[in-house]
Each structure stands twice: as C-alpha cells, then as structure tokens.
Chains A and B, each alone.
Chain A
Amino acid sequence: MELLLFGIAKDIVGRSSIDLPSKGVQPRSVAELKELLIADYPDFSKLSSFAVAVNSEYAGDDVTLGQDDEIAIIPPVSGG
C-alpha cells in the first residue's frame, strides 16, 4: 500500500511517498492511519489539520483501507 505525501507532509516525512505497512503495522482505517502517522512523525500533530484521501476522494475517519487503494495525506490546502 503506497501512501502519497504532499506539501508540508512531504517535508515532515522527507519523501514524497512511503510504503505501508510501516514497521509491521498495517492501518485498517483512515483513523488508524492518522494515529500511526502521528506516532511515527509527531510533527503531524502540530499541523492546523490534515485530511486523508482514498482513491483521490476525501475520506472520513471510518473509511477502511484496502491493499489496492491509492491513499494520500492532504495537509491544509492553500491554492489560489
């Protein structure tokens, strides 16, 4: 499972993508993924907010993650 990173999320992790499972832990939902990220990279907890997209759609905390899903971390957007 590949996790795409953009904006400040890319700076926090130091890469534009990471492979999951990370350290043997496979997140099963958006909520678990957020917890895992904050545990591995505490700087995520300093952001104003961050969202998760599954297959390029915003996904709520209860959305489950499948092996073939494209998952992305969406830090606060700032286009325009």
Chain B
Amino acid sequence: MEEPILEIVEELDVSGVYKELSHPASGGICVFIGAVREFTNNEEVVALEFETYKAMALKEMRKTVTQASEKWPVNKVVVRHVVGTKKVEDPVVVVGVSSAHRDACFPACRYIIDTLKQTVPIWKKEIFRNKEVWVSAHP
C-alpha cells in the first residue's frame, strides 16, 4: 500500500478522489461518500455540526487503514472527514480504496468506514428546528 491520504478538512471536495486513487496496478476503485440526510426519525435536520480531536482522529484513521491493508491487498487509500457545520446534501466523509480487483476494494472500503464510525474521535451534533442532539451520546 502506498502512503494513505488521511485528512480532517473544513470543506470536502470529492471531485478529485479518482485521481488520488488511480494506480497502474489498480483495476478496481471503490468510493464511499457520506452526506447530510434531511430527516432523522421523521424529524427535519437543519444542519450537522462536526468536531474532532484531530491528533487522535488522524492516528485512529491510520490504524484502521493499516488493519484494512493487512486484511486485503490494497494499493491506495483516501480517508477525508469534515469538521464544522454542514447542510443537507453536503458530503461529510469520503473513503476510497483502490486495488487490483474489486473483491479487495469493496470490503476494505466498508471496513474502513464502519470502523471509523466506531473508533475515530469525531462527534456529530444534529441541529433540528427546536433542539440539538449529540448523536449516540445517550442510550
């Protein structure tokens, strides 16, 4: 695996991700993009606010990508997540993996986004019309 691209950004531009993942030995490129959804449990979401513990988030991202590269033969990886306030339809996270064949990049991409959501210290607050809720904070 080449050195992965791991970033926390204020503005996420997903248009360049193909070039970042393109590799002469990669016949498959899998990209997951997470975006702001309009409704949570039938309540209208006005915006999402993200914050992070950046030094630790980048470390945890690197651990996750290293684990994925040990499980599947991947060539290039991009993980980029936003911080700040995001509106409906804004992209908030992109995970991209390239590999020789699709049977490596699909599961590796899925593993990275699933693990990121469990371990990387990023927090999301849902802003509704009349309340604000830190996601997953309470049982």
Residues of chain A having any CB pair with chain B under 8 Å: 4, 6-8, 11, 46-48, 53, 56-58, 72, 74-80
Contacts and interface: CB of A to CB of B under 8 A. Distances in A.
Given A53-B56, A72-B53, A77 B120 contact: yes
A77 B56 contact: no
14 contacts: A8-B123, A8-B137, A53-B56, A53-B121, A72-B53, A75-B137, A76-B136, A76-B137, A77-B122, A77-B123, A78-B122, A79-B52, A79-B57, A79-B121
Interface in B54-106: 55-57, 59, 81, 92-93
B107 to A, nearest CB: 17
Contacts of B53: 4, 6, 53, 56, 72, 74
Nearest to B49: A7
A79 B137 contact: no
Contacts of A74: 53, 56, 121
Nearest to A46: B138
B16 interface: no
